[in-house]
Amino acid sequence: MSEARILDGKATALAIRTEVRSAAAKLEESGCRAGLAVVLVGEDPASHVYVRNKDRAASDAGLAVQTVRLGAATTQERLLQEVRTLAEDDAVHGILVQLPLPSHLDAAEVIEAIPPHKDVDGLTQSNVAALVTGRPGLRPCTPAGCIELLTRYEIGLEGKHVVVVGRSMLVGKPLAHLALAANATVTICHSRTQELEQHCRRADILVAAVGIPELIRGDWVQPGAVVLDVGINRAEDGRLVGDVDFEGASRIASAITPVPGGIGPMTIAMLLVNTLQSAALRCGMTAKDLGWGR
Ligand code: NAD
């Protein structure tokens, strides 16, 4: 029997998507249609599913979406050309290159070809520096989605001990910075961390972004803690599971995100938010002009 409150990322993301749709319609009335370009290279089945979901969500929200699909043998130069073309296209306000890229391609160089104001994944060096130094910029969608979910459930971060398990550039590191910016005390754990269990037990807010099915056991959770499970893994029996033992943790935590239906949908919602914000800025509109109530 689950006792923790379920942090419903699906419902929250739906609410955000409705807000984006209404703001995008206002933007369009002023002659500016927000545009998102998604670049997908190769045949990775999970990436195809993610791109389809992003494409659908963006279209539903009234954004103009184009998906550039390139074969697995695409050269670095060809990919850079595609990104540079999108960079110069005034109808495109956000560019997302779906990761991971096939191993012969240099993802870092491709990401740097995206102009920072169109970098809706928040991964360019310029946006990373903005995050670390507290300047405005586009923030990575998954960690931004984690913070947004907490905000909408009125779970404050100030003074809390946030333990982030995982230090990737996509999730763990930016999340740690966002939590710091919200005045949390932050511990970052990773593959070489000693006594992971003890660190987890000290978390008021525990975030798992590792990619190992149910690595975090229920009894590693401090009673009353909030658990955000970013992981999306296929268990041996075929179930989709997170990095946290959901059943065990939900008996001890005060609130927890499910997998699926937690951080995944929030990631897509934040991609729409970033694209809309990027478009609004380019078209000289403010959030207030768009009735964007945040
Ligand atoms: P990654 O492989 O880039 O990073 C994994 C991190 O986990 C590394 O920093 C590593 O040090 C750490 N780690 C590995 N083994 C560990 C261990 N035994 N103990 C502690 N730390 C360990 O992965 P990522 O891109 O950050 O993604 C992590 C997970 O989140 C994956 O399951 C991925 O599918 C999922 N993900 C979900 C979303 C979403 O929208 N919900 C978005 C991005 C990633």
DSSP secondary structure letters along 146-169: HHHHHHHTT---TT-EEEEE---T
Cα 20 to averaged position of ligand 1 atoms, centre (Å) = 28
3-state secondary structure of 99: coil
3-state secondary structure of 152: helix
Within the chain, residue ranges assigned H as helices are 9-29, 45-60, 76-88, 107-112, 125-133, 141-152, 172-181, 196-201, 246-250, 263-282
Cα 211 to averaged position of ligand 1 atoms, centre (Å) = 4
Tell me the C-alpha to C-alpha distance, in Å, between residue 259 and each of 155, 230, 235: 20, 8, 12
pLDDT in tens, the chain (294 residues): 559 999 999 999 999 999 999 999 999 999 999 999 999 999 999 999 999 999 999 999 999 999 999 999 999 999 999 999 999 999 999 999 999 999 999 999 999 999 999 999 999 999 999 999 999 999 999 999 999 999 999 999 999 999 999 999 999 999 999 999 999 999 999 999 999 999 999 999 999 999 999 999 999 999 999 999 999 999 999 999 999 999 999 999 999 999 999 999 999 999 999 999 999 999 999 878 887 765
Atom of ligand 1 nearest to the CA of 190: 21
The type of residue at 195 is E
The type of residue at 117 is H
Cα 153 to averaged position of ligand 1 atoms, centre (Å) = 24
Cis-peptide, bond into residue 100, ω within 30° of zero: yes
Atom of ligand 1 nearest to the CA of 172: 26
- Given a contact cutoff of 8 angstroms between Cβ atoms, the answer to whether 110 and 77 are in contact is no
pTM over 0.75, yes/no = yes
Whole-angstrom distance, CA of residue 47 vs CA of residue 101? 10
pLDDT at 265: 97
Q: Going from the N-terminus, what domains does the chain have, and what CATH number goes with each?
A: 30-123 (3.40.50.10860), 140-264 (3.40.50.720)
pLDDT at 293: 62
Protein residues whose CB sits closer than 6 Å to any atom of ligand 1: 142, 165-168, 170-172, 189-191, 193, 196, 209-212, 230-233, 263-264, 267
Which residues are known catalytic residues? 54, 98, 121
Ligand 1, atom 16, residue with closest C-alpha: 191
Atom of ligand 1 nearest to the CA of 266: 40
pLDDT at 186: 98
